[in-house]
Chain A
Amino acid sequence: MTPLNSAHALEIIDLKKAFGGLIATQNVSLSIRPGERRLIIGPNGAGKTTLFNQISGDMRPSSGQIRLFGTDVTAFAPYRRAHFGLSRTYQIITLFAGDTLEHNVTLGLLGLRPSRWQMWRPLAAYGDLATEARRILDAVGLLHLAAHPVSDIAYGEKRRVELAMALAQKPRVLLLDEPLAGLSNSERSTVKSLIAAIPRETTVIMIEHDMDTALDLAETVTLLNYGRVIVDGERDAVIADQRTREVYLGA
Chain B
Amino acid sequence: MKWIGFALLAGALLLPPLLAGDFYINLASQILIAAIFALSLNLLVGFGGMTSLGHASYLGVAAYISALLTSKYGFGHGTAALLSIAGTTAMAACFGVIALRASGLGFLMITLALSQVLWGLAYRMSNVTNGDNGIAGLTRPAPFGISLESPASFYWFALIVAGFAFAMMAIFVSSAFGSSLKGVRDQPRRMAALGFNPWLIRWITFIYAGFWGGVSGLLYVYYNKYIHPTSLSTTNSAEALLGVIAGGSGTLGGPVVGAALVLLLKNYVSAYVERWNMLLGLVFVFIVLVMPSGIVPGLSRLAAELRRGSR
Chain A residues engaging chain B, CB cutoff 8 angstroms? 56-58, 77-79, 82-83, 87-88, 90, 94-98, 103, 106-108, 110-112, 115-124, 126, 165, 169
CB distance from B269 to the nearest CB of A (A): 36
A-B pair count, CB < 8 Å, reads 95
Q: In this complex, which of B171, B187, B198 has the most chain A Cβ atoms within 10 angstroms of its Cβ?
A: B187
Q: When A110-B180, A126-B176 are in contact, do A82 and B187 touch as well, CB less than 8 Å?
A: no
Q: Which of B171, B177, B197 contacts A77 (CB 8 A)?
A: B197
CB distance from B278 to the nearest CB of A (A): 35
With known contacts A110-B180, A118-B177, A123-B179, A96–B186 Cβ distance under 8 A:
yes
Given A95-B187, A98-B186, A123-B176; 7 other pairs, CB 8 A cutoff = A58-B189, A78-B192, A88-B193, A110-B196, A116-B176, A117-B176, A119-B178
Q: Do A107 and B171 have beta carbons less than 8 Å apart?
A: no
Which chain A residues border B179 with CB–CB below 8 Å? 103, 106-107, 110, 123
Q: B187, A121: Cβ atoms under 8 Å?
A: no
Q: Which residue numbers of B lie inside 8 Å of A, CB to CB?
A: 171-172, 174-180, 182-183, 186-187, 189-198, 208
What is the bound-complex CA distance between A72 and B45, given in angstroms?
37
Given contacts A119-B177, A122-B174, A122-B175, contact A56 B186 (CB under 8 A): no
Is the Cβ of A79 less than 8 Å from the Cβ of B192? yes
State A56–B218 Cα separation when bound (angstroms). 46
A90-B190 in contact given A117-B176, A118-B176 (Cβ < 8 Å): yes
Instruction: Give A122 Cβ to nearest chain B Cβ, in Å.
Output: 5
Residue of A nearest to B205 (CB): A119
B contacts with A: majority SS? helix
Residues of chain A within 8 A (CB-CB) of B178 are: 119, 123
Contact residues in A for B186 (Cβ distance below 8 Å): 96-98
Closest Cβ of chain B to A142, distance in Å, is: 18
By a CB distance below 8 angstroms, the chain B residues around A103 are 179
Contact B177 A82 (CB under 8 A): no
Given contacts A98-B186, A116-B176, A126-B176, contact A82 B194 (CB under 8 A): yes
- The answer to whether B171 and A87 touch across the interface, beta carbons within 8 angstroms, is no
Q: How far is the CB of B18 from chain A (nearest CB, A)?
A: 34
Taken together as a complex, chains A and B put the C-alpha atoms of A98 and B174 apart, in Å, by 15
Which chain B residues border A94 with CB–CB below 8 Å?
Answer: 187, 189-190
Offer 29 A-B interface pairs, CB within 8 angstroms, sorted by A.
Answer: A56-B193, A57-B192, A58-B189, A77-B192, A79-B192, A79-B194, A79-B195, A79-B197, A82-B193, A82-B194, A94-B189, A94-B190, A96-B190, A106-B179, A107-B179, A107-B183, A110-B180, A110-B194, A111-B196, A112-B194, A116-B177, A118-B175, A119-B175, A120-B171, A121-B176, A123-B174, A123-B176, A126-B176, A165-B194
CB A47 to nearest CB in B, in angstroms, measures: 19
Closest 7 CB pairs of A and B: A111-B195, A111-B194, A82-B195, A78-B192, A119-B177, A118-B176, A94-B190
Q: How far is the CB of A85 from chain B (nearest CB, A)?
A: 10
- Given the interface pairs A119-B177, A126-B176, the reply to whether A96 lies near B187 with Cβ below 8 Å is yes
Contact B183 A120 (CB under 8 A): no
Q: Which residue of B lies closest to A124 (CB)?
A: B174
Which residues on B sit within 8 Å (CB–CB) of A112?
A: 194-195
Q: Which residues of B are found within 8 Å of A107, using beta-carbon distances? A: 179-180, 183, 191, 194
B185 to chain A, nearest CB (A): 10
Beyond A79-B197, A122-B175, is A116–B190 a contact (Cβ under 8 Å)?
Answer: no
B residues near A124, Cβ cutoff 8 Å: 174
